[in-house]
Structure 1
Amino acid sequence: MTEAATESETDTVPEHEPVAEADPAPPAGPSLHQPKRWLIAAGEFVAIVLLVIAGVWCWNRGVVQLAYPIEGRETLISTRYHGNWLGTAAGAITLAVVLGLDAVRQVVLAVRTRPQKAAEADV
């Protein structure tokens, strides 16, 4: 009995609900192809160089060789690894790779830039 009441309620549409109209088109945003992307790519290349230098420096601090001289024998050399320095080096190199990918993307988009008149003539 409750099912019949529910069906009859859903079949009728209340008259006071507004009808949804089509949304207007969103305003045109900035174009992907912008010459200022060269500046962004240059900044990312500088950051990549600095991150690689920092990564190498951290890696060298993370690997320490210790020498223990023993009388009458060869010197015992052991290697100690510091995880915090090695992890920082891995993070810096990973970030440099990600920035490298984005820098290549920025350069490609900057190269593809066409003047506005040429872009309108193609349309």
Structure 2
Amino acid sequence: MTEAATEPDTDTAPDAVPDPVPDAVVDPGPSLHQPKRWLIAAGEFVAIVLLVIAAVWCWNRGVVKLAYPLDGREPLISTRYHGNWLGTAAGAITLAVLLGLDAVRQVLLAVRTRPQKAVEADV
């Protein structure tokens, strides 16, 4: 068999990207630096307080002290642990820590708003 000799087309490359229109204005969308993030951080701080209160309440329900009276001696005291309550307390604390990290991030993004001139200078 014989091969046909073809030269590649140099005018248009198959993976060439067309030039963008220079007059088009690209909307960057919402920026990360928004002062309304204070409201989100405040809501997360309220949720953290509620989760810590719930975790303490669950932990107190999960640890039960039992006293068995004995004749002529001090009572025998034992402790019973309920795993479902202790696990719920651990989960609530874990969620509170995660919300705390996000609340710090939200506050930093709300505080570090840059003036418009600085944003335009970076572009």
On whether the aligned pair clears a TM of 0.5, the verdict is yes
Aligned residue in 2 for 1:50 = 50
CA shift, 1:34, in A, is 0.3
Aligned residue in 2 for 1:85 = 85
Q: In structure 2, how many angstroms separate the alpha carbons of the residues matched to 1:91 and 1:72?
A: 44
CA shift, 1:60, in A, is 0.3
Aligned residue in 1 for 2:74 = 74
Aligned residue in 1 for 2:23 = none
Give the count of matched residue pairs: 109
TM-score (normalizing by structure 1): 0.76
Segments ≥4 residues shifted beyond 2 Å: 18-27, 114-123
Q: In structure 2, how many angstroms separate the alpha carbons of the residues matched to 1:114 and 1:39?
A: 19
Question: Which structure has more helix as a fraction of its residues?
Answer: 1
Q: In structure 2, how many angstroms separate the alpha carbons of the residues matched to 1:120 and 1:20?
A: 32
In the alignment, structure 2 segments of 5+ residues that lack a partner are: 7-12, 21-25
TM-score (normalizing by structure 2): 0.76
- Equivalent residue runs for 1:1-123 within 5 Å: 19-22=14-17, 28-117=28-117, 119-120=119-120
In the alignment, structure 1 segments of 5+ residues that lack a partner are: 1-7, 13-17
